[in-house]
Chain A
Amino acid sequence: MRFFLEVLISGLLSGVMYALVALGFVLIYKASGVFNFAQGAMVYLAALSVVGCMEKGAPLWLAIPLAFVVMTLFGIATEKFVLRKLVNQPPIALFMATIGLAFFIEGLAPMVFGSDPRALDLGIVDEPIEAILNNWGMVISKFDLVAAAIAALLVTTLALFFQYTRIGRALRAVADDHQAALSIGIPLQHIWAIVWGVAGFVALVAGMLWGARNGVQFALTFTALKALPVLIIGGFTSVPGAIVGGLIIGASEKLAEIYLPPLMQSAFGGNFGGIEGWFPYVLALCFLLIRPEGLFGEKHIDRV
């Protein structure tokens, strides 16, 4: 039982890290109805700019705001040079533009900040919390806990922001209908710039946490792939959905990794490992069959 709990908790905590990446997708999807293919690349860019600034001699407390400036400028530039030209175009055009954007970042960022993998030290150690280890005999990483707390804070703030502020309402309006949003006087351009700025900030938080854990390297762009099943389960349009989806994926993949192999071995024989790698996608596939809009997504009924 204790072991089960330990696996569950560490799974949930790592799920929060997935949720963090998924959140960036949700933000942009909500405001422009576009799946932002470049989200993974943005996570990479954000982490690289933190490390890059630190290499140039900036301390961590300065490197983070500097990276935020980079991400904000990037957001504004994206709106100005990519999205503005595509107002009222079908979503597929915007989607294709984000694919281009992803390649652009993946090429440019290493040119500016260097491409070799580097460590990022946030000053939070990745070791078991002693109190829990002594009292309960469970290994829970301090880093995971801090990361989860940061993510929780970020998510709560964003959820409130969307629900209760004027800009939040404008964001939802823009997401629903560009034409109508313009007609009531919502400046599409500002809203998009804000959204990409916020998505950049989320990418920065995700990039730092993932970068501190796995090192800042090109593989950070693949975190986006882990966010996909999270989005499918939680729904593309829901901030809370991204969190719940992340928790489900995190917990289920860790539990599956531990408890499935013996079952499968007795059923089919042979060795099973690396279930963690594919389990989330199978789970997402099942969700697509049963509930394609995700747990919290908006269900669209199209009239024929």
Chain B
Amino acid sequence: MSRAIGEVILDLQNISLRFGGVKALTDISFDVREHEIRAIIGPNGAGKSSMLNVINGVYHPQEGAIIFHGQERKKMEPHRAATQGIARTFQNIALFKGMTVLDNIMTGRITRMKASFIEHALWLGRAKREELEHRKKVEEVIDFLEIQHIRRTPVSRLPYGLQKRVELGRALAAEPSMLLLDEPMAGMNVEEKQDMCRFILDVNDQLGATIVLIEHDMGVVMDISDRVVVLDYGKKIGDGVPDEVKNSPEVIKAYLGAGH
């Protein structure tokens, strides 16, 4: 591997998140280093997706600090995450169903488009240049994910596995420095999982993106992640390299029950 894991770029300190009386996350701290693949695992309802939503600025924790690139993040609007270089995919695919694959991936570049609305409306020089430039970038993403043949297909007609891939493409089109993947392999067959693994590793290796992912498939997680955080009932019960986590008694207990 050519990549080198760098400094801590995201530091979550004592995060607690409540919805009314329900404690979704309690006093969770962990960090993410540049260029690493960081997995969040845990049984259903452990608070994994909530954690991702906290990183993404959709949820605002009541307690704790989020330090991103050395700066403590104040409460931010959810759409700001994208401009800070954070892109994501969703557990239940959230593509724009009415649009083609190309248009969907193109939307990923929306924050990078600069030409004004008037320029676009009149299709003036800058707007045209810009559209072509973005189009080129999008084609690179399409090549990278090997979805050239479905470029013009409306996404609602695609099978599940391909939709997940398009969603990854939309996230990649933004050229993110950090990529949040919420169960990228859920509902896939073995072959599709292998493809997705390869893409995630390539994104990490070739594009240098830091990846935070939630995944249920233990084999996959242990194979591709550099470090793993384990959550259970909103609390952190494990954190470390895959081997460490795998042999932690607390983690085994959470996954297999107390009897084992």
User: Which A residues are within 8 Å of any B CB, using their own CB?
Assistant: 160-161, 164-167, 169-170, 172-173, 175-177, 179-188, 237, 298, 300-301
Contacts and interface: CB of A to CB of B under 8 A. Distances in A.
Interface string B149-180: 00000001000000000000011001000000
Contacts of A176: 95-99
B110 A166 contact: yes
Contact of B121 (A161, A170, A183, A187): A161
Nearest to B120: A165
A129 to B, nearest CB: 33
B79 A180 contact: no
Nearest to A180: B94
Interface string B106-138: 111011010101001101000000000000000
B83 interface: yes
- The 5 A-B residue pairs whose C-beta atoms are closest, nearest first, are A185-B82, A180-B94, A185-B111, A176-B96, A165-B120
Given A160-B121, A164-B123, A169-B103, A185 B95 contact: no
Given A166-B117, A169-B106, A169-B110, A182 B78 contact: yes
Contacts of A165: 117, 120-121
Nearest to B94: A180
B79 A186 contact: yes
A185 B83 contact: yes
Contacts of A237: 98
Contacts of B77: 187
Given A166-B120, A183-B81, A187-B79, 16 more contacts: A166-B110, A166-B117, A167-B117, A167-B120, A172-B96, A173-B107, A173-B110, A177-B97, A181-B79, A184-B82, A184-B87, A185-B79, A185-B81, A185-B83, A185-B111, A187-B77
Interface size range on B against A: 20 to 34
A100 B142 CA distance: 46
Given A166-B110, A170-B110, A184-B111, A177 B81 contact: no
A77 B59 CA distance: 25
Contact of B115 (A166, A169, A175, A184): A166
Contacts of B82: 183-185
Contacts of A184: 82, 87, 107-108, 110-111, 170-171, 174
A47 B82 CA distance: 41
Nearest to B113: A166
Nearest to A299: B156
B141 to A, nearest CB: 13
Nearest to A187: B79
Contacts of A167: 117, 120
Find the residue from A167, A180, A184 having the highest chain B CB count within 10 A. Answer: A184
29 contacts: A165-B117, A165-B120, A166-B117, A166-B120, A169-B110, A172-B98, A173-B96, A173-B107, A176-B96, A176-B97, A177-B95, A177-B97, A179-B58, A179-B90, A180-B95, A182-B79, A183-B56, A183-B78, A183-B81, A183-B82, A183-B94, A184-B170, A184-B174, A185-B79, A185-B80, A185-B81, A185-B110, A185-B111, A301-B156
Contacts of A183: 56, 78, 81-82, 87-88, 90, 94
Contacts of A179: 58, 90, 94
A180 B90 contact: yes
Contacts of A161: 121
Contacts of A173: 96, 99, 107, 110
Contacts of A172: 96, 98-99, 103
B174 A185 contact: yes
A298 B97 CA distance: 10
A193 to B, nearest CB: 13
Find the residue from B77, B98, B107, B115 having the highest chain A CB count within 10 A. Answer: B107
